[in-house]
Amino acid sequence: MASATPSQPPVDKRRQILDAAVHVFARQGFHTCRVSDIADEAGVAYGLVYHYFDSKDEILDTLFSERWQVLLDVIAEIERGDDPVREQLRAIVSFIVDSYVHDPDLMKVIIVEVTRAANTFGRTHLNEIREAYEGIARIVERAQRRGALRSDISPQFAAMAFYGAIEQALTGWIFDLLPTGAGDHDDVKRYIVEAICGGLELRAGEASSAPAL
């Protein structure tokens, strides 16, 4: 029987190292931080990092794959449902934005060190990354088929534009270029769906809902 009397809840050192790595990577960047920084932040000995991970790379690989899999599951779940496409896309935005709000450092690391890192980790995880784009593209394509979205924009491209808008919004937060107050995260969720689904132009017969001045 496992752990009959865990007198002390055994702290999961492996988890501690991963969590510490998130903060160190976010603060200093993967390439500029030292493994000893991670060990220090985690409050464990240097060597223990190598007891749980083969290399510094493997730490980042693990962080990325763990979290990205959750995103892939969410997309798959949404895809399986029958909601209107606008609602499906809103759910994806919502999940990603909430992920950021819940753990900004982790999302920062994922975006900065992986999804755009064309030579290193981005290449390694290309299939996982691609899977997300493809899921979104399928959602768009299906909506096009049933006439809910225009069909003169390729679903693959639409997925990229959509995901790109989201990632750029997070980047705006990371760089402190977009406001990060209380309502701002919800605003951005709405903005993204509105901008991508509805478009920036006024719809015929619609008044601008906040006329200038």
Partner DNA sequence: GACTCGGTTGACTGACCAGTCAGTCCATCG
Partner DNA sequence: CGATGGACTGACTGGTCAGTCAACCGAGTC
- Span 47-86, contacts to DNA by CB under 7 A: 47-48, 50-51, 55-57
Q: With binding defined as CB under 8 A, does residue 154 bind a second copy?
A: yes
Q: How far apart are CA 96 and CA 100, in angstroms?
A: 6
Q: Which of 13, 168, 180, 185 binds a second copy (CB under 8 A)?
A: 168
Q: With binding defined as CB under 7 A, does residue 126 bind DNA?
A: no
Question: 138 vs 23, 73, 192, CA distance in Å?
Answer: 34, 15, 19
Whichever of 14 and 86 has its CB closer to DNA, that residue is: 14
Q: Shortest distance, CB of residue 111 to a second copy, whole angstroms? A: 7
Q: Shortest distance, CB of residue 156 to a second copy, whole angstroms? A: 6
Question: 18 vs 38, 125, 169, 210, CA distance in Å?
Answer: 9, 18, 26, 46
Quick check: 38 and 24 in contact, CB under 8 A?
A: yes
Comparing CA positions, the residue from 34, 37, 43, 40 lying closest to residue 12 is 43
Window 2-31: contact mask with DNA (x via CB under 7 A): --xx----xx-x------------------
Window of 2-10, 54-62, 68-76, 171-179 that interacts with a second copy by CB under 8 A:
171-179
Residue 15 interaction partner, one of DNA, a second copy, none, beta carbon < 5-8 Å per kind: none
Whichever of 52 and 191 has its CB closer to DNA, that residue is: 52
Q: Which of 35, 48, 72, 165 binds a second copy (CB under 8 A)?
A: 165
Q: Which of 12, 83, 116, 186 binds a second copy (CB under 8 A)?
A: 116
Residue type at 198?
G
Q: In this structure, what token pair is assigned to residue 54?
A: 């083969």
Beta-carbon contacts of residue 195 (< 8 Å; ≥ 6 apart): 165
Q: How far apart are CA 44 and CA 48, in angstroms?
A: 7
Residue 149 interaction partner, one of a second copy, DNA, none, beta carbon < 5-8 Å per kind: a second copy
Q: How far apart are CA 91 and CA 171, in angstroms?
A: 20
Q: Which residues bind to DNA, rule: CB under 7 A? A: 1, 4-5, 10-11, 13, 33-36, 44-48, 50-51, 55-57
